[in-house]
Chain A
């Protein structure tokens, strides 16, 4: 996510949402072109890769507006730590591309949306040359409304859909009701929109649904996004060392926990456990499959999966996890962390800066830091790459050409890279109205915090960027963490491929997330999970394996 989506961080919430629905999420998809010839919206299963994808993908033209202080490496974002000078900002969109269409956009929104006619929206619309009307929906319950809206014939011009909301039949809706952007973006055509041309090809590849380029992606780093955070101020004061193995973590957690004083060592650490034990990604279903010795295995079938659950279960039974985390319906981990009720929690990397900025004024002592993901046995961790894009904007198939052009014009502004005027406008608003710059540090005022929240950034983003002029050290730590972790990150067999599973399997793995949570909280036994896995196999898991195997044989792996 953008570094500067204000303190009530959409990305943080979006991760929350994603972790909640993760196993329910199916990667969207596209027909296997080789197999089905790819008639328009015809087949709904499979993927598109290789030559077929090449025909569709936009050309890549890098934008070197500002050289990053820390270049991207190992799948990390690029980091910017220098001061900001308004006078030196470049212009990436020299002339208005918009032709004045009115565009309705439905998008998830985390936080409280501003009024529709605010100065930020006006300034953005003016710069783009369109009249965008936002229909912002609560991001946490977005899936409840999405299905109904997509089923209506009066769908908005643009619908933004996060990949974790693509459960059940949503991919089918994307394929049958969303416009093919190929005629506007494939190959050199994308050069009309230079900022879109600078979006990495991986992210575009992942935006091919049903054999056509349908999504405008928000590129994201492929390094795992979940960081185990700890209260550095507390650790330094008490002289605690950051744990480097699963056993050390448990021992430390027991030492920290003081329930009497309402202090618990950690919140729910399931996601860290998965990373630490090398469990295949649960983010999107295709990422959970990997080829081992010529045979595909799914994440729930692995030893590591059970071991990770077993370890998390130990944390719960040792009483080091906050009771409200066990209840899972009370507040959020970040709140308990800043309140000092838990000393460690795991969350999307955006909290690193988000919590720091949030607490800067009221709690001067507060210091958050991310620990390296430890290998469970104390060695190097085995991490699995995340998808190169997480949220997509789709254009209604019924939209006129003019509207499509204007949406792309808007996305082109939203995707402006760091160091441009458009980037500042998109992410900070209007200088003087929404933010002020002092000593090279832009600071949003109240109005900025209210209005410049996630709206336009939902249309498209530049290549992953971390820039925090207010906390350059944090930006540096974040990028360096990503680079260290990136070194341990491997790509699983279907990395980067947008895959649509056959409809009969889409709900096959839905219950694992619930079961995981029950197992770690001690409500179910690990053997119940083993039982569920064998049921999964017999109820279609094995057939799904064959399906994936055929897909792999036909389309070739991302690793290859």
Chain B
């Protein structure tokens, strides 16, 4: 990101392919200092390195053979060879494969459910002065400060017959009051003229929500969707409490068992004991697996989000 290329947008050098080139600097903005640019670059590079280095050793270890790992005496920094045995073992249809599918399913269903409930509630609360609007808000707000103990919560879920069911992983945590408030704030910022004119044209609330509010709120919906999805994907406590069938456990629980308790998953104990596979490599491989979906999802949403915000800003 040298100042030189930035000054010659019409003659991009070979090292600066179009997609990486800077857009023209606004005319009113002064030339950046070289020192300032270098400083920025260094800070950003350090931050990225601080993130990437540990990530690197996790990935490398997951790809290392047992021998390399025991030579390194722990996590491997410099790879000596690459083997996919840990991933092969994990994805060959055993517990981890099943758990991954379970987690994906819960995340998908749970997120759709949570978003539906939250969007509806946010819209339902967005018109000031509607009946019971204040009461509903108060009811929701209060839960942000008071919680219940483990036992009453367990007894409730149990007496609703939700134990050993995936519903127990979705229903109790389906509503985040905070997320509803964010959605609501966004809905309320939508220009009333738009909705009013639609109403005059005879549109009901359902249609207004569907045809006007949601399309205009794509950005915030994308972000809240991400929050919910990440929440479902990384939740583990409810599963450990409410599920007793190990076959039903989601990925995070299998991972915790693997990493924290050092127990190999079903079918892999033997491979680990007989020395083909390092327990550490398996742990790291599961970590990478758990990381992948969200890591892929978030930049996509990030793009969407920012775009939405920008249009929102221009419009507003």
A interface residues (Cβ-Cβ under 8 A, vs B): 7-8, 106, 110-116, 135-138, 140-141, 144-145, 147-149, 151-154, 262, 331-332, 335, 339, 341, 358, 361-363, 446, 449-450
Instruction: Give bound CA distance, A296 to B151, whole Å.
Output: 37
- The 8 Å CB contact of B241, one of A106, A148, A331, A332, is A148
Instruction: Give bound CA distance, A113 to B263, whole Å.
Output: 11
Question: Whole-angstrom distance from the CB of A145 to the nearest CB of chain B?
Answer: 6
Instruction: Give bound CA distance, A256 to B266, whole Å.
Output: 37
Provide the residues of chain A in CB contact with B270, threshold 8 Å: 446, 449
Q: Is B245 an interface residue (CB 8 A)?
A: yes
B273 pairs with A152, CB closer than 8 A: no
Provide the residues of chain A in CB contact with B240, threshold 8 Å: 138, 141, 144-145
Provide the residues of chain B in CB contact with A149, threshold 8 Å: 154
- The 8 Å CB contact of B73, one of A114, A138, A262, is A262
Question: Whole-angstrom distance from the CB of A109 to the nearest CB of chain B?
Answer: 8
Instruction: Give bound CA distance, A325 to B208, whole Å.
Output: 62
Supposing A152-B158, A450-B266 touch, asked if A147 and B244 sit within 8 A by C-beta, the answer is no
- The 8 Å CB contact of B267, one of A106, A136, A446, is A446
A148 pairs with B263, CB closer than 8 A: no
B73 pairs with A112, CB closer than 8 A: no
B262 pairs with A116, CB closer than 8 A: no
B155 pairs with A151, CB closer than 8 A: yes
Provide the residues of chain A in CB contact with B241, threshold 8 Å: 144-145, 148
Q: Known A-B contacts: A145-B241, A154-B158. Give 9 more (CB < 8 A).
A: A112-B246, A112-B269, A147-B151, A151-B151, A151-B154, A361-B275, A362-B274, A446-B267, A450-B269
> Nearest chain-A residue to B153 (Cβ)?
A148
Q: Is B181 an interface residue (CB 8 A)?
A: no
Instruction: Give bound CA distance, A331 to B154, whole Å.
Output: 31
Question: Whole-angstrom distance from the CB of A428 to the nearest CB of chain B?
Answer: 16
B247 pairs with A115, CB closer than 8 A: yes
B150 pairs with A113, CB closer than 8 A: no
Main secondary structure of the interface of B (DSSP, over half): helix
A112 pairs with B257, CB closer than 8 A: yes
**Residue-wise interface mask of B (69-105) relative to A, using a CB-CB cutoff of 8 A (1 in contact, 0 not):** 0100100000000000000000000010000000000
Q: Is B10 an interface residue (CB 8 A)?
A: no
B247 pairs with A148, CB closer than 8 A: no
Provide the residues of chain B in CB contact with A111, threshold 8 Å: 263, 269
A152 pairs with B244, CB closer than 8 A: no
Provide the residues of chain B in CB contact with A362, threshold 8 Å: 273-275
> Nearest chain-B residue to A154 (Cβ)?
B158
> Nearest chain-B residue to A156 (Cβ)?
B244
Instruction: Give bound CA distance, A335 to B159, whole Å.
Output: 42
Instruction: Give bound CA distance, A140 to B240, whole Å.
Output: 12
Instruction: Give bound CA distance, A148 to B148, whole Å.
Output: 14
A148 pairs with B150, CB closer than 8 A: yes
Q: Is B264 an interface residue (CB 8 A)?
A: yes
> Nearest chain-A residue to B283 (Cβ)?
A331
Provide the residues of chain A in CB contact with B245, threshold 8 Å: 116, 135
Q: Is B33 an interface residue (CB 8 A)?
A: no
Question: Whole-angstrom distance from the CB of A65 to the nearest CB of chain B?
Answer: 31
6 tightest A-B contacts by CB? A362-B275, A148-B154, A135-B244, A112-B266, A113-B246, A262-B73
B244 pairs with A138, CB closer than 8 A: no
> Nearest chain-A residue to B72 (Cβ)?
A262
Provide the residues of chain B in CB contact with A114, threshold 8 Å: 266
Question: Whole-angstrom distance from the CB of A141 to the nearest CB of chain B?
Answer: 7
**Residue-wise interface mask of B (257-293) relative to A, using a CB-CB cutoff of 8 A (1 in contact, 0 not):** 1000111111101100111000100000000000000
Provide the residues of chain A in CB contact with B158, threshold 8 Å: 148, 152, 154
Instruction: Give bound CA distance, A463 to B127, whole Å.
Output: 73
A332 pairs with B263, CB closer than 8 A: no
Instruction: Give bound CA distance, A361 to B244, whole Å.
Output: 34
Instruction: Give bound CA distance, A149 to B240, whole Å.
Output: 12
- The 8 Å CB contact of A112, one of B70, B95, B151, B154, is B95
Instruction: Give bound CA distance, A151 to B157, whole Å.
Output: 13
Provide the residues of chain A in CB contact with B247, threshold 8 Å: 115-116
Provide the residues of chain A in CB contact with B263, threshold 8 Å: 8, 110-112
Provide the residues of chain A in CB contact with B151, threshold 8 Å: 147-148, 151
B154 pairs with A332, CB closer than 8 A: no
